[in-house]
Structure 1
Amino acid sequence: MFITFEGIDGSGKSTQAHLLRDTLVAQGFDVILTREPGGSPGAEEIRSLVLEGDPDRWSAETEILLFTAARRDHLERTILPALAKGKVVICDRFADSTRMYQGLSRGDLRGIVDQLHNIMIGREPDLTILIDMDPAIGLSRAKSRQTSEERFEDFGQALQEQMRRGFLSLAREYADRFHVIDGGRSQSEVASDIATLVQEQLV
């Protein structure tokens, strides 16, 4: 099963992805936890290019190409081999983030994102967990991490608000695989809801 986590910056998706991995491993599942951009040696190199530096370092079109290249390498070297071995793959972000951050926020480029995805990736997750969060709270959490990967956070709260609306719209568009989880509660409450959801899907 291929499970992805999506949400605005600071929504807690990375933490919840780790917690879900730990829960499933404890239950005897063979699980691999990965992330985007990244998840393979080549994709991790591209990650540093797109997440660090000035906000205007790349055009949206260039970002789309970089993210697609990273995703293709990640798919070939990590995701597909793991699925072929019967593993549960949990991924922190996937193509839905590109549909939002590059396809929506930086111009009307969603069509280009989807065309490249269909040509080069051709795979959607089996289950996508969208952790919905107040953009102001999420951005405050994200900025407190003090990492070098702050390029998209530096676009400010207006971007996060746009992304939240976009992700919720995407959840309606792909209602067959999206499940929206309220991220404004305690970490344990969120984790419990996610674990229940995934266990039902796996059974």
Structure 2
Amino acid sequence: MSEALLKHPRLISLEGGEGAGKTSAIVAIRELLQARGHEVVLTREPGGTPLAERIRELLLSPHEEALAPETELLLMFASRAQHVREVIRPALQRGAYVVSDRFTDSSYAYQADGRGLDRALIEELERKVVGLKPSLTLLLDLDVREGRARTSGRDLWPDRIESEQDDFFERVREGFRKRAVAEPERFRVIDASQSPTAVGASVSSAVLQWLESSA
């Protein structure tokens, strides 16, 4: 794969911490794009293909053996490489919009800011393994404690990431916010403390403005 990092005009990602409401926001984006006559492919990370979903299980299932941060990062990029090759690139090549629940920004926030891994390593993997970045990234920003309260009781057994402590998620949130400040032309920050209806409206408005500015 080429090492050039292409910002693709039909690739949209949603980012945010636990409980931020990305699932509902993605539905709002799909409805807006479909109403304008576009094919829309919804997908998620880690996952998106049968093999990538199996890697997701490895990443999220609690283990008796602790998962090293480097292992977590490389599994994320193994899943992402399969996802890009099998789902994202083919959809973009046929003219569809791709909306992904998480993309490489999550690796910077979770593995660099959250785990303390070398950002340069992630940058190299992004160039050599992924080769794509979204033209629009919607960051659903939410207070960590509120997000944890929303997800409390959602699953009988929290997954490996959900079981982390608040200080980890504070670092992740700050990582996302720093990326949004560094790339204001790509990021739109949405206040996810609003009601689901209000968040959906804010997301739709941001996407519509982006579409009109890109026309």
For Structure 1 versus Structure 2, the TM-score category normalised by the shorter chain is: over 0.9
Q: Please say if 1:23 is aligned against 2:32.
A: yes
CA contact (8 A) 2:114 2:169 kept: no
1:98 to 104, 107, 119: 107
1:64 corresponds in structure 2 to: 73
How has the CA–CA distance of structure 1 residues 64 and 15 changed in structure 2, closer, same or farther, with 3 Å as cutoff? same
For 1:147 and 1:4, the matched residues in 2 are separated by 28
Pairs within 5 Å for 1:187-202: 187-202=196-211
Matched residues in 2 for 1:147 and 1:39: separation?
Answer: 24
Q: 1-side partners of 2:135 and 2:97: how far apart?
A: 11
Of 90, 94, 98, 1:85 maps to: 94
- Whether contact under 8 Å (2:44, 2:102) holds in the other structure is yes
1:143–1:150 CA contact under 8 A, matched in 2: no
Q: 2:120 aligns with which of 103, 111, 126?
A: 111
Provide, for residues 40-86 of structure 1, a one-character-per-residue CA deviation record: whole Å limited to 9, x for no partner.
Answer: 11111100000111497311111111111100100010001111111
Q: 2:181 aligns with which of 164, 172, 179?
A: 172
Deviations 1:116-171 (A, max 9, x none): 11111111101000001010010122232106562111112111111111110011
Q: CA deviation at 1:115?
A: 1.2
Q: What is the RMSD of the two structures over their aligned residues, measured on CA atoms? A: 1.6
Identity of aligned residues (%): 37
Alpha carbons of structure 1 residues 166 and 24: separation in structure 2 relative to 1, 3 Å: same
The one-letter amino acid paired with 2:132 is: R
Letter of the structure 2 residue corresponding to residue 8 of structure 1 = G
Q: TM-score, normalised by structure 1?
A: 0.94
**Could you tell me whether the CA contact under 8 Å between 1:51 and 1:152 is conserved in 2?**
yes
Count of paired positions: 203
Residue 153 of structure 1 aligns to a residue whose secondary structure is coil
Distance 1:84 1:182 in 2: 33
What's 2:154 paired with? Answer: 145
CA distance in 2, matches of 1:10, 1:144: 12
Q: Is the aligned partner of 1:2 residue 2:11? A: yes
Query: Closer, same or farther in 2 for the Cα pair 1:25/1:199, shift >3 Å?
Result: same
* Aligned residue type for 2:168: L
C-alpha separation in 1, matches of 2:93 and 2:157? 35
1:83 and 1:149 map into 2 onto residues whose CA distance is 34
| Unaligned residue ranges in structure 2 (runs of 5+) | 1-9
Matched, 1:34 2:43: yes
Q: State the TM-score, normalized to the length of structure 2.
A: 0.89
Q: 2:83 is matched with which residue?
A: 74
User: Contact (CA 8 Å) 1:32, 1:90: kept in 2 or not?
Assistant: yes
User: Any unmatched runs of 5+ in structure 1?
Assistant: none
Distance 1:42 1:17 in 2: 23
Question: Which residues in structure 2 correspond to 1:114-133 (within 5 Å)?
Answer: 114-133=123-142
The equivalent of 2:22 in structure 1 is: 13
